[in-house]
Structure 1
Amino acid sequence: MCGIAGILGKNPNNSKLLQKMLEAQKHRGPDAMNVWEKDSVFLGHNRLSIIDLSTAANQPMESQCGNYCIVFNGEIYNYLELKDILKSDYYFTTTSDTEVLLAAYSKWKTKMVDKLNGMFSFAIWDKNDNKLFAARDRFGVKPFYFTFYEEQFFFTSEIKTLFQASIPKNKNLKVWANYYKYGTYGLPNETFYKAISQLKAGHYIEIRVNQPMNSDAVKQVKWYHFEQNIFEKPSLHKDDLMKTYSELLKDSVSLRFRADVPLGMNVSGGLDSSTLIRFVAQNLPSDETIESFTFYSNDPNYDELPWVYELIKTTPYPLNKVLLDYNDLPNLIEKVGYFQDEPYGGFPTIAYSLLFNEAQKKGIKVLLDGQGMDEAWAGYDYYQRENDAVIQGLNNSSPCQPNAITEDFLRHAEKENYETPFDNRLQNLQYRDLFYTKIPRALRFNDRISMMSSTELREPFLDYRLVELAFAQPKKLKFNEGQSKWLLRALVKESLGKQIALAPKRAVQTPQREWISNELKDYFTEKIILFSNLDFVNKKEVLRLWDTYCRGDQANSFYIWQWINTLMIK
C-alpha cells in the first residue's frame, strides 16, 4: 500500500506543487517519496515497502523500454503467476509486483486489468500513445480521486492531497443533504466535495495531454463486468460448493501471505474471524506464528473478548488487546476525522484504528481481516426479510433526524436509485451493498485508518473469485433452514467447535450510545452547540433532540454522530 499523485498540465510550478501534495499523504508511504516528470506529465509516489524492499522497486517506475512510467498503490497478489507468463517478453530487474504491472501493460495494454487479482489503483503514462491510463480494482479497495482545475488534471490517493493544489473545498450539497436525510455517503463516483470525483470501482480512464482539461474530457470505462460473470456462474450442489469455496479461500489467504515484511490479523469473536483464523492456520507452517489484534472497551455488554478468547485458545497465536478508553475519544475523534477527509463511522471505526496503531508499534506492516463475507453470502438479517430494507440495510425506523436540518438545505437531497440488474430481490440487495453502500463505505473507512498508521490491510474474503462464487448461488444455498452462512459454519465447526461455528451474528459495537450522554456528555454538548449554530441547521430542534437523547431516548446515536462528524470535516 502506498500513495499516488499526479498532474497533467503546463504550470511551471507543477514539480514543486506535486512535492507539496505528496507531503500531505506521506503517512501512506513513509519509506520513500519520489517524483517523475516529462514535459507536461508529473507523477509522484509515497512508498510503503511490502514486496521487494530494495530501492530498485521505488516508484515512479519506468519500463525497460522507456515507453511507460507507473505509480501504483496496492498489491497484485498473483504477480508471481503473471511474471511467469510475461518473462519471455520482458526482462525483469526487480522482484516487485509494480514491475509486473509495467510488463503486463506493455503486452496487453488496457486488457491487463482483467488478469489482475489484487487491490489496486494505478496510473501509467504511455509515451507512445501520449496518454495517461488509470485503473481501479474490482471493488474499490484502493482509492483514486481526481479533478480538473485551471486547465489541468490532478489525481491522488486522498482528498486532502488535492487541497494542497488549491482545489476548491466547496461542498457537494446533494451528497451532504442525502447524508443528513438518508444516511448515505454518496454514489461510487462522488465525494462530499463538488469539485472532486472518484474513479469508480472496476473502471478505468484514459486522458491525453492534448485534449481539453475539463470534466467533459474523461469517460469512466467499466472493465469489471460483475453482473455478466454472475449470470455465467453455475449453481453448485452443496458438497461441490463447499469443496470449491474451501479451495478458493485457502488460495486467497495464501496469496495474501505474499510479503517481505511481518503480517498480522485483526480478529473479533464472530464467524468471519473464525473462518479467517482456520485458513490462516492452514497456510502457516506449524513452527510459525502470527500476531492477532482485537479491541475492547471494558463494557461486558459490548466486548467480544470472551468469544475472542474462545477462538484464540484453539491456536498458538499471540493476542494483542487494545483498550478503547473514553478519555481518549475527544482527541481520537478529531484525529481520525482529519485522516478520513469525509464523514466516517462512529466509535467502532475509531476503535478499529487503534489496532493498526498497535500493529505499527510491533513492527507489523500488513494485517488481514474478514471484510466482505456478509455481502457475498447474504449474512445480514435483513436479507431474509420480505419487506424492503432501507438504505444502508437499516430497518424502516430511520437512524437520521432530517428535521434538524433546514428545509432549504434538504431540497438538495435526491434519493439515490441503485441498479437492480438481477431478477430477484436478494441479489439486488447484495449488489447494492457490494457496489453502492456497505462495502464502498467500509473500504474507505478502513483504507484511511490503516494508512493513518502506515499499515496495509488485506481482505481475503473480497477475492473476486470468492465473491462471485458465493453471490451466484441461489437463495436456498445461502440460507440453510433460515441459518445464514451455513457453509462457513460447516467449514469451521470441526476445527473450532460448535460454540464458535453456530454463534449468531453480532455486529462489532462499542458503548457509543451510553458514553455520548454520560462520560462524554460535556464534550458532545460543546460540539452540538457549535453544530446548532451552523446556518443550515434548525437550532431549536437540534437542542431539543439532544436534550431528549440525554434523558434516555437513545434508540440510536447515528444522528448525533452525524452532527459531530460535520464539525470534524474541515
Structure 2
Amino acid sequence: MCGLFLTTNQTIQEETLQNAIKTLLMRGPNEQNFINSNNVIFGHSRLSIRDLSSSNARQPFTNKSLNITIIYNGELWNSRELIEKLSLDKSNKYTEVELIIQVYKKYGTKGFNILEGMFAFCLFDLKINSIFLVRDHFGKKPLYFANSNNSFYAASLPSTLFVLGVPKIIKDSVIYEIAESRHIYGGIYKNVMELQPGSFAQYSLNTGQVKLESYFKPHQFVNENTFNQLSNSNSKEIKEVFTTLLQNAVSKRKCSEVESGVILSGGIDSSLISYFSKLNDSRTFLHLNSVDMSELSYAKEVASSLEGDLYSDYIDKNRFFANHIKTIKAWEYPLVHTNGVGIKLLAKFAKELGLKVLYGGEGADEIFGGYYYHRLSRMSSLIPKRLSSFVSTKSHLSEFISTQIINNSTAISNNKSNRLSNYHDCLGVYNEFLPKSESIPQALLLSELRDYLQPLLARADRLMMSESIELRMPFLDLDLISFAVNLPLKYKMGLFSSKRILREKCDELMPNINFKRRKIGFTLDYYKNWYEEYSKEPLDNVSMYFDCDNLISYYEKIKRYDILLRIASLSYLC
C-alpha cells in the first residue's frame, strides 16, 4: 500500500511538496519520490510489500514509449490472468503499474473493470493530455480530488490536498448530515470530492474540465440464470461452491514477501478467514480484547483448534480516551464508529509484532445478512401492505415498511433520496425475476455495498494505514460477491437467523466450537462516559464554528451521546 498525490499547479515550491509527502509517510514509509513531468507534479510514498527487488516498482513510474506516467496505491489479485489476457511474455516479471498501463493501452478506460484488487491510481496520458483517476470496484482504497484556483489536485488523503494549497473548509451541511448518518458521500470538505467506488474521473489539461464516469455498479452482478442455477442446487452443493470461492479468495491474497497475520475475533467471519489462512500456512492470529465486552476466550478456542499462535492486546475505557482524538485525526473523519479506536490500536500492535499485512472479515455481514435490520427487511417483505398499518409506528419495522429501507442513525447517506435511489436501483433488478418476499431483502443486502459498507472500508484503510499496515478482505472478492448477490435468501438468513451458510460451514470445519452464540461484535460503548468527562470543550468549539446550539441541545435532551460524539469530532477536523 502507498500514498500518492498529483497537481498541475506549477507554482508550488519544493518545500511544500516535501511537506505533502510527509502527510503520507505512514501510508508509505519505505520510499518517497516526486517528479515534475509535462506540467504535472507527481508524488508517491511507498509501503513495500510486493516487487521488492524490481526497479520498475518505484514510483512515480513512466512508460516513455507510451508517454504514460502512473502513481498507484493498491494490490492486484489477477496479475497472472492479465498477463494471459494481454498476451504478454510470461517469462518476464511485470510489476502491477506496468500491467495497468498495458491494460489501458489495449482497452482504454473499458479496461478498468477487468482489474481485480483494491486500488486507487492516477494515470497521465500525455498523448491526449488527460489525467485519469481510478478507484476499485468497492472503494477499498481512497482517492480525493479538487479543481481549485485554476489547478487540479488529487491525493490519497484530504490533508495532503490542504498542504498543497486547497482551502480547508468544512461544508455547512455536515453538522446536520453527520448527525443523521455515518457516511457522507463526497466527504466533509467543500470543493474536495471523494472519487466514488467503481468509477473514474478524467481531467483534461486542455479544457480544465473534469468528467466523471462509472465503470462498475454492484447490481451488474445480478444474473437470473445464476440465481436459478443456485436455486436448483442442494445445500451440500451450495456449501461446496462457497468453500471453493472463499478458499480461492484467501489464496489470491496470500502474502509471501512480508510477514502477515489474521485478525481473529472468535466470531464466524474471522474464524472462516483464519481457517483458510491456515491452509496457506498463515498461523499468526491477532485479537484486541475489549475488556468490557470480551470475546478473548472465543478467539483462544479457535486459535487452539487451528494450532495457531494468538497474540492479544486490549482496550478499555482509559485506552479509549487516551487514543480517541488520535483516531479522529488519523481517520480525517468524525468518529462514527467508536471501535475505530480499537482498530488503530490493533494496527499499532501488528506493527510492533513486525507484521505488514493483516486479513480481516469485512464485508461478510453486508453480503450474507449479518445485521438485525436485514432480518427486519425479511419480516417486512412477508407482511401484506394492507396489514402494515397495524405495525407500531414507533418500530424500526414500521419505518422499513414505509420506505423499504431502514431509516435510523446507523443507516448511511447524506440524504434519504441518495439511499433510496441506490436501493431502488438494486430492487429494480431483482424485481425483474423475483417475488417481493425475496427481492426486498436481496436489494437491501446489495445496496449495502455502496451504503453501510463504505464508512467501514474508510475506517479500515485510514486507521490501518496510519500504522503502515495493509488490510486485505477476502469476503470482498469479486467472484465471492457475484456468488453472494445471486444466492437465494434461504441460504443467507431467516426471520431469526443470519449468515446461515457461514454458520453451517463453521460448524462443519470446526465442529468442536460453539458458534451458536449471540453476536457481540467489536463493541466499545463509552459514549456516556465521554459525554460526562470529555464533551464540553469540543462541543463548545463546534458551536463556535457552526450555528448548532439547538441541534446539540436536542441530542443532549434525548441522550444520544453517540451522535454528540460525531458532532464533537468535527472540532478536531476544522
> Distance in 2 between the 1:122 and 1:86 partners?
20
CA separation in 2, counterparts of 1:396 and 1:153? 37
Question: Residue 194 of structure 2: which of 191, 198, 221 is its match?
Answer: 198
Q: State how far apart, in whole Å, the 2-side matches of 1:390 and 1:26 are.
A: 48
How far 1:345 sits from its partner (Å)? 2.9
Deviation of 1:395 (Å):
6.9
Counterpart contact for 2:286–2:311, Cα < 8 Å: yes
For 1:310-459, list aligned pairs within 5 A: 310-385=301-376, 386=380, 387=397, 388-389=399-400, 416=418, 417-419=420-422, 420-421=424-425, 422=427, 423=431, 424-436=439-451, 438-459=452-473
Q: Which residue of 2 aligns with 1:96?
A: 95
Matching residue of 1:51? 50
Matched, 1:245 2:236: no
Q: Does 1:274 align with 2:271?
A: yes
Correspondence 1:74 to 2:66:
no
Does residue 234 of structure 1 match 2:237?
no
Aligned equivalents of 1:140, 1:371: Cα separation in 2:
13
Report if the CA contact (8 A) 2:528-2:561 is conserved: no
1:450–1:456: 8 Å Cα contact kept in structure 2?
yes
Contact 2:290/2:522 (CA < 8 Å) preserved in 1? no
- Give the secondary structure class of the aligned counterpart of 1:479: coil
CA distance in 2, matches of 1:64, 1:560: 53
For residues 4 and 465 of structure 1, what CA distance do their matches in structure 2 show? 29
Partner of 2:288: 295
Q: Counterpart amino acid of 2:533?
A: D
The reply to whether residue 264 of structure 1 matches residue 256 of structure 2 is no
Shift of 1:207: 1.9
Tell me the CA shift for residue 339 of structure 1. 1.4
Contact 1:71 1:124 (C-alpha < 8 Å) held by counterparts: yes
- Whole-angstrom distance in 1 between the partners of 2:479 and 2:565: 36
Letter in 1 for 2:330: F
Correspondence for 1:405: none
- SS of 1:35's partner is strand
- The RMSD of aligned alpha carbons is 2.8
Deviations 1:264-322 (A, max 9, x none): 111112111111112112222xxxx43211112332xx111122122212122211211
Residue 183 of structure 1 corresponds to 181
Among residues 437, 461, 469, which one is paired with 2:475 in the alignment?
461
Summarize the Cα distance change of 1:13–1:543 in structure 2 as closer, same or farther, 3 Å threshold. closer
Whether contact under 8 Å (1:72, 1:120) holds in the other structure is: yes
Equivalent-residue separation in structure 2 for 1:398 and 1:69 (angstroms): 43
> In structure 2, do the counterparts of structure 1 residues 134 and 390 end up closer, same or farther at CA, with 3 Å as the change threshold?
farther
Per-residue Cα deviation, 1:166-194 (whole angstroms, up to 9, x for no partner):
212222223432212x224212xx11011
One-letter identity of the residue aligned with 2:534: Y
Distance 1:14 1:291, change over 3 A: same
TM-score normalised according to structure 2 size = 0.86
Matching residue's letter, 2:548: V
Displacement of 1:85 = 4.1
Q: Which amino acid aligns with 1:493?
A: D
Inter-partner Cα distance in structure 1 for 2:113 and 2:337 = 36
Unaligned runs of 5+ in 2: 381-396, 432-438
Amino acid at match of 1:222: S
For the residues of structure 1 that align with 2:486 and 2:440, how far apart are their CA atoms? Answer: 13
Letter of the 1:73 counterpart = N
1:486 is aligned to: 500
Residue 443 of structure 1 deviates from its aligned partner by 0.7
Superimposed CA distance per residue, residues 478-518 of structure 1 (whole angstroms, 9 cap, x where no aligned partner): 2257422111112121222264433333332024245436x
Corresponding residue of 2:388: none
Equivalent in 187, 201, 204 of residue 208 of structure 1 = 204
Q: What are the superposed Cα offsets for residues 320-363 of structure 1, whole Å, 9 maximum, x if unpaired?
A: 21121433334412211111112133431101111110111111
Q: Deviations over 1:466-489 (max 9, x none)?
A: 112111223233225742211111
Aligned: 1:255 with 2:259: no
State the alpha-carbon separation in 2 of the partners of residues 203 and 38 from structure 1. 25
**C-alpha separation between the residues in 2 aligned to 1:103 and 1:361?**
38
| Deviation of 1:58 (Å) | 1.1
Deviation, structure 1 residue 29: 0.3
SS at match of 1:501: coil
1:234-259 Cα shifts (integer Å, max 9, x gaps) = 12023332222211111110011134
The residue that corresponds to 2:565 in the other structure is: 561
Distance change in 2, residues 1:326/1:484 (3 Å):
closer
Distance 1:192 1:443 in 2: 16
In structure 1, what residue type is equivalent to 2:254? F
Structure 2 distance, partners of 1:198, 1:510, is: 28
Q: Equivalent residue for 1:42?
A: 41
- Counting matched residue pairs gives 533
Q: Is the 8 A contact 2:219 2:446 kept in 1?
A: no
Which residue in the other structure is 2:548 paired with? 537
Deviations 1:203-243 (A, max 9, x none): 112222111x2xxx222211114323213551202333222
